[in-house]
Amino acid sequence: MKNTSGIAQLFLRLALGIGFLMPVMDRLGFMGPQGSGGATWGDWKHFIDYTNTLIPFASRPVSNIMGFLATIAEAVFGICLIIGFRIKEVALGAGILTLVFGLCMAIFLSIGAPFNYPVFVFTGSALVLSDIDHYKWSIDNYIKKKIL
């Protein structure tokens, strides 16, 4: 059955978008201090400590750069998914980022680590979203209508 209303893809976009923005807010300190109910890292230092755990072969300055790049990517992915801009490209990028993240977790933490969090669910969801042809309720749809 075809979902012509677009509710499922809209929900998926919002869930993924918010799912990318929440960790960004956490590492920037907006979710409270580390160990509080709403925060995992609570600040940049604890986030980079975790990043260095996922890429132990990298020096601390390289981990800082990688953490910064991941944070920028996650913020851009989250915003673009929520507003519906360049969805196909953003969703593919999000799928690749979460796949790399999940593989690093599996290799350098434990095989179960990416399954304790929905890392591969994010990957699959992003890839499914990147394969949809029409995104109702999106900037992409608005632009497409203006062009036609």
Domain ranges of the chain: 7-147
* Ordered DSSP codes for 81-126: HHHTSSHHHHHHHHHHHHHHHHHHHHHHT-TTHHHHTTHHHHHHHH
Distance of CA 122 to the CA centre of its chain: 7
Report the chain (148 residues): mean pLDDT per 10 consecutive residues. 75 97 97 90 96 96 98 98 97 98 97 95 97 91 84
Q: Give residue 35's pLDDT.
A: 84
Contact between 19 and 122 (Cβ < 8 Å) = yes
Q: Give residue 6's pLDDT.
A: 87
Q: Give residue 37's pLDDT.
A: 85
Distance of CA 130 to the CA centre of its chain: 14
Q: Give residue 1's pLDDT.
A: 45
Q: Give residue 98's pLDDT.
A: 98
Q: What is the pTM of this model?
A: 0.92
